[in-house]
Amino acid sequence: MPRPSRLFCFPYSGVGASMYNRWPDPVGPAELCRIQLPGRENRVREEHFGTYEALADELARALLPHLDRPFGFFGHCGGALAAFATAHRLAELGMPVPDVLFVSSQVAPHEGPYGRYLTMGETELRSELEGLTRLMGSEPVPDLIDLGLGVMVADLAANRAYRTPGPVVLPTRIRLLAWRDDQEVRPELMTGWAACAPAGQCERRLLPGDHYAFLRAPGPLVDELAEGMADAVAAAALR
């Protein structure tokens, strides 16, 4: 039986949809939809999207046939900016917008760009990518790391270039997922997102774990996602 909602998950800098391989499917009432961006994994021969604005325009049209039921977006770190930009573009085009936007470990788009990765050289980024590969359960393969490094450099350029001149208010609920031991984006740096949601529609949760804990789909995270999607389904039923 088809699930009554969908949760679209955006990958973050340097990796593809496989970063969500450890996540359960479904999540509460939602079918998990792992978004694969161009230039990586099974789309490695395609050109990089360039900017979050260009990506948002492409995704808005590609996702439209799948927005026929309540849906949410999830993004961690750079992926949260891509998710926000896509939600913004959907609203601009008069298309369905996410019922809930889950933002994990990222500052608000009008307060960025932010993060130590944005100032790293290729040697440092290579080391980070090797560590991330191990966290995802694999051993680094030099040729694949080379490919991933090119993607990461381009992704970080998109991140570095993306900043809204002021708060952009989306017509959707935002759930902030901060991580207690996150040394990359500390929880207190995420407060600016409240200005990007309608009044009273931004909620904040503090979850146990560090910046990479989400890769393992820990129980508290899955519970938050399931609850948020259940609320989206219930709200849609009342419309």
The 10s digit of each residue's pLDDT in 219-235 is 999 999 999 999 988 98
Helix and strand element counts for the chain (H, E):
5, 6
Q: What share of the chain has pLDDT > 90, as a percent?
A: 80
Would the pLDDT of 142 be above 80? yes
Would the pLDDT of 155 be above 80? yes
The whole-number pLDDT of residue 133 equals 82
Would the pLDDT of 145 be above 90? no
Contact predicate 210/182, CB 8 Å: yes
pTM of the model: 0.94
Q: Rounded CA gap, 8 and 119, in Å?
A: 29
Q: Rounded CA gap, 173 and 21, in Å?
A: 26
Residue 27: CA count within 13 A, CB half-sphere: 30
Q: What share of the chain has pLDDT > 70, as a percent?
A: 99
Contact predicate 72/33, CB 8 Å: no
Query: 195 or 19, which is more confident?
Result: 195
How distant, in Å, are the alpha carbons of 26, 78, 144, 193, 218 from that of 51?
Answer: 30, 12, 23, 21, 31
The structure tokens listed for 186 are 């500390």
